[in-house]
Structure 1
Amino acid sequence: MELRDYIRILRKRWVLIALLTLIGLGAAAGYSILQTPKFTSSAKVFVSTSGGETVGELAQGNTFTQQRVKTYASLATTPIVLLPVIADLGIDRSSESLARNVTASAPLNETLIEITVVDDDPALAAELATEISESLTNVVETIEKTNSEGASPVRLTLVQHASVPQSPTSPNVPLNLALGTLVGLALGIGLAVLLETLDTRIRNERDVELVSDRPIIGGIAYDAKAGERPLIVHVDPRSPRAESFRTLRTNLQFLDVGHPSRAFVVTSSIESEGKSTTAANLAIALGDAGARVLLVDADLRRPKVDQYMGIEGGAGLTDLLIGRAELQDVVQKWGRGQLYVLPAGRIPPNPSELLGSAAMVRLLEEFSGAFDVVLFDAPPLLPVTDAAILSRVVAGAIVVVAAGRTHKNQLKGAVGALENVGATISGFVLTMMPTKGPDAYGYGRYGYGYGYGYGVEEGEKAEKADKAERAAKKAKKDAKTSAS
């Protein structure tokens, strides 16, 4: 991953990261509250040796003292030192239990022993530190008695009495809170990166580029009302989604400029990625620009173009393929521009064979001669082979990819299906792109957003006029059918 990927993850998963950080902070606060406060008190004992008048003897005595200090410090937690303290203070503890709260340290090259006691009671901690220091001096003096007079050459002196601590040393609330926050933050970032690594869905242009080197020719902004108004180009021409289709129209004009055919198959990897609405809106945008466009519903399994465009779908492509009708009999003009729609017609039992037949090739030649651009709305690539078969005989395939829905392995499978039959992938169109967040729709690359194009009222008027024209045309056909 690159730095920008981590930044995108932080922006995308900031709620999760913030939540785990707060949980870590809360856990640290709860731990600190539940812990019993501990108080620490220390006393210091000075170790010296007697005897020696010359400098050499004094130096030898000092070296001897430094060597014995470590041993004396170890004695501080032994029963011989602690049991008298327990007896004198009358506390209900064993020497082993008390030893766990006592530490004795002797700094290097020094003759001082610091005895530290940790306890729940600050007064008892100070009293224990002082009593243990005095007990240690008595024990060492007894052990080190070596001469005939019963005097010890080693002398321990209590030079610093333990004082009663005013504040607890543990729990260290600021430190605990800081550590809890850091641990929560680290867990949040780690979990966010893990979830992003395990998420194989296509999210943005870079994910598509990792699958194929073919260009991304358009990005369609997500619209929550897309199901209610699929033909957005006329309904709301100033919306980002409508502008996306006009940008896609512009980019399409530069695809395969040297190819004699301007026929394209619009397909996708799986269902519900927006291929039919993309084909329909792109056809409308091309028609608005003055091109003579034919939109063909080549999904002979689940045709939808007739529903979206509001036309009669009883006869169409299948009738042309089996020779039961002529083009002028089944093609229907849509709107006030130069857009014509060819519905799928009756659903045949052998869609793949029909789309791959010689009759389909002849029809394509006829379409290319009569129209500037031909768009085929084909089935998805992974469930069936219809789109792959049809893509071999057209200028190229436009693969629609739904952001946040299509998985990378699904897109790889779709690309492989087209490459296996020798079809050309003209480009990819990202649909359902979010308008907010780290994977937000790129206005600078695919569109210009609000403020351009026709007004909303003009678009609604155009849509109403188109609907009225389609209704009149359908009524005329129904009357003709009834008369016959």
Structure 2
Amino acid sequence: MELRDYIRVLRKGWLIILACVVVGVGVAALFSAVKAPTYTADSKVFINTQVGGNASDLVQGQAYSQDRITTYAGLVGTPAVLQPVIVGLHLKATPASLSRQISATAPTNTTLLQIEATDQDPKMAADLANATAESLSTVVQQLETTDADDNVSPVKLSRVQDAVVPLRPSSPNIQLNVLLGLLVGLALGVAVAVLRETLDTRVRTEHDVEAISPAPIVGGITFDPKATVRPLIVADDPYSNRAEAFRTLRTNLQFLNIGDDVEQLDLDPADVADGLDEGAPRKGRSFVVTSSLAQEGKSTTTANLGLALASTSSNILVVDADLRRPKLAGYLGLEGAVGLTDVLLGRVDVGDVVQRWGKTNLYVLPAGRIPPNPSELLGSGRMRKLISVLEEQFDYVLYDAPPLLPVTDAAVLSKSTTGSLVVVAAGRTHKNQLKSAVAAIEQVGSRVGGIVMTMVPTKGPDAYAYGRYGYGYYGEEQGDERKRRSRSGSKGRKNAEAAGHTASA
């Protein structure tokens, strides 16, 4: 994952992160509120070894004290030191329980011993520290005294700092606890957000697509909650961002190179010159528009892409090759009782069933009746011949084919066309579904020409990657004015289209 991927994950999971931070801070604050405050008092003891007055003896005495100081610190928690403290302060405790309240530390390279005592009573904490220091001095003197020393200990512990009654509790440290709760909550929230993104199997960004297929992403169509009500957005609202996205798809499709490698072709310069003659026959391009599963927007993409291509004065044909659940005729408001099925069965000529949509250069070949054997019809020799004929008559031919995973119709049809466009619904299609769809096309010897992402969110962290597809092409003021003009003339345009449909029928 790159840095921008982590930033996108944090933007997507900011609610989770915020919730974890709030919970962490709340738990820390609650813990600090319910925990009884404790106070800490400390006293310091100086360890002196009595030796001769010369410099060598002083150095030896200093080294001896530093070697023994760790031992004296360990004596603080023993019953020999704590039992006199319990008796002297009249405590109802045992040496074992009292040892958990008292500790001793020795700073490095010093002969000072710091004794700390904690208790919920600040005065008792100070009394414990002072009493423990006094008891330790007595015990050390007894332990270090030998008969050779004439009952005189060479080691003397002197209390150089008495413990005073603390004014503030040492625990709980509310600020520290809240800070730790914030950090723990933040770390947990980020971990949950990253784990959620890692386990997410849906295709959401162009990076997810690029990790599955090397095919270029030729377009990104924004999500429109009213797509079912107004599927032909290029005609109904031509100056909207969504319509502009289809025009961008049109431009990318025109520059899409799916032909053979030129270096492998043995071309005669004279043949090339002849091919550029004005009267030379022109062969169009045909694309199968399909998806992994249903409800990903392939039919609306086919219809709107056809409208966008037709606006460039090209002769465009859209063929409803979904012989199982045809939709194009309904979207375009055309009669679809007779169509592709009848042509493939030899009942009618293709010229008799192709309908012109209004006064545009868009022509439509409906699906016709639903046959019992769609795969066989689409993979037949008659279908291959029809594809070749249509490519000679039209600049672009778009075939709206069924989804790839349930049936093989689209994969079979893609073998005879220029290429295939796979529609991927952002946030809905799973990665393994897209991978299986691409594999289905490649297994028949074809390849994916391009991928079109639909239902792309317009807001949020997943929307940033699609800014390059040309959303917001028109300025706000100019776009609003053109929208008003579009709405004012929509009724007349629809009437004209209806008249054209009737005439073509």
Tell me, yes or no, whether TM beats 0.5: yes
Match of 1:443 in 2: 467
**CA offsets per residue over residues 82-133 of structure 1, 9 Å max, x none?**
1222122112111111111111223344332221101111110001111111
Amino acid aligned to 1:403: A
Matches within 5 A, 1:173-252: 173-252=174-253
Q: For 2:192, give the aligned amino acid.
A: L
Aligned equivalents of 1:368 and 1:137: distance in 2?
A: 106
Q: Specify the SS of the correspondent of 1:439.
A: helix
Within 2, Cα distance between the matches of 1:402 and 1:374? Answer: 23
1:294 and 1:88, CA in 2 relative to 1: closer, same or farther beyond 3 A?
same
In structure 2, how many angstroms separate the alpha carbons of the residues matched to 1:254 and 1:57?
95
Corresponding residue of 2:7: 7
Describe the shift of the 1:472–1:158 C-alpha distance in structure 2 as closer, same or farther (beyond 3 A). same
* Alignment partner of 2:495 out of 447, 451, 468: 468
Q: Which residue of 1 aligns with 2:311?
A: 288
Q: Tell me how far apart the structure 1 counterparts of residues 116 and 293 of structure 2 sit (CA, whole Å).
A: 72
Secondary structure, counterpart of 1:190 in structure 2: helix
CA displacement 1:61-88 (0-9 Å, x = unmatched) = 4444444333333222221221222122
Cα RMSD between the aligned structures?
2.4
- 8 Å CA contact 1:130–1:161 kept in 2: the answer is yes
Tell me, in whole angstroms, the C-alpha distance in 2 between the residues paired with 1:410 and 1:187: 31
- Map of 1:101 onto structure 2: 101
1:422 alignment partner in structure 2: 445
Deviation by residue 1:109-162 (Cα, 9 ceiling, x = unmatched):
433222110111111000111111122222333344435854433332222111
CA shift, 1:447, in A, is 4.2
Cα distance in 1, alignment partners of residues 392 and 106 from structure 2: 100
Identify if the C-alpha distance between structure 1 residues 246 and 300 changes in structure 2 by more than 3 Å, giving closer, same or farther. Answer: same
Deviation track 1:168-213 (CA, whole Å, cap 9, x = no partner) reads 1122222222222222111122221111111122112222222222
Partner SS, residue 300 of structure 1? coil
Moved more, 342-351 or 413-422: 413-422
Change in 2 beyond 3 A, CA 1:61/1:390: closer
Q: Could you tell me whether the CA contact under 8 Å between 1:290 and 1:338 is conserved in 2?
A: yes
Answer yes or no: is the 8 Å Cα contact 2:258–2:418 preserved in 1.
Answer: no
Gapped runs of 5+ residues in structure 2?
Answer: 261-282
After superposing the two structures, state which structure 1 stretch, 177-186 or 270-279, moved more: 177-186
Conserved? CA contact 1:29–1:173, under 8 Å: yes
Alignment correspondent of 2:77: 77
1:337 CA drift (Å): 0.9
* Contact 2:358–2:499 (8 Å) recurs in 1: no
CA distance in 2 between counterparts of 1:208 and 1:24 reads: 37
The CA distance in 2 between the partners of 1:117 and 1:391, in whole Å, is: 83
Secondary structure of the residue that 1:428 maps to in structure 2?
strand
Partner of 1:160: 161
Q: Distance in 1 between matches of 2:252 and 2:50?
A: 100
In the other structure, the counterpart of 1:342 is 365
Q: What secondary structure, in the 3-state scheme, does the structure 2 residue paired with 1:202 have? A: coil
Contact 1:20/1:184, CA 8 A, preserved across alignment? yes
Contact 1:86 1:93 in 2 (8 A): yes
Segment of structure 1 superposing worse, 80-89 or 300-309: 80-89
Instruction: Look up the match of 1:459.
Output: 486
Q: Distance in 1 between matches of 2:21 and 2:336?
A: 58
SS at match of 2:219: strand
Matched, 1:111 2:111: yes
Give the superposition deviation at 1:327.
2.5
Determine the structure 2 residue equivalent to 1:412: 435
- Equivalents in 1 of 2:58, 2:212: separation in Å? 83
Contact kept in structure 2, 1:256 and 1:395, CA below 8 Å: no
Q: Is the 8 A contact 1:292 1:373 kept in 2?
A: yes
Offset at 1:164?
A: 0.6
CA distance in 2 between counterparts of 1:73 and 1:443 reads 68
Whole-angstrom CA distance in 1 between matches of 2:415 and 2:470:
28
User: C-alpha deviations, 1:439-471, integer Å up to 9, x for none?
Assistant: 216233344444377922443456534543565
TM-score of the pair, normalised by structure 2: 0.88
CA distance in 1, matches of 2:51, 2:412: 109
Shift of 1:476: 8.3
> Contact 2:25–2:181 (CA<8 Å) still a contact in 1?
yes
Determine if contact 1:239/1:449 at 8 Å carries over to the other structure.
no
Q: Does 1:368 align with 2:426?
A: no
Query: For residues 216-262 of structure 1, what are the alpha-carbon distances to aligned partners after superposition, in whole Å with 9 as ceiling and x for unaligned?
Result: 11111111211111110111112111001111112222234869332
Partners of 2:214 and 2:51 lie apart in 1 by 91
CA-CA distance at 1:334 after TM superposition: 1.2
Q: Percent identity?
A: 54
- Change beyond 3 A, Cα 1:250–1:47: closer
Supply the distance in 2 between the matched residues of 1:283 and 1:474 (Cα, whole angstroms).
Answer: 16
How many pairs are equivalent? 478
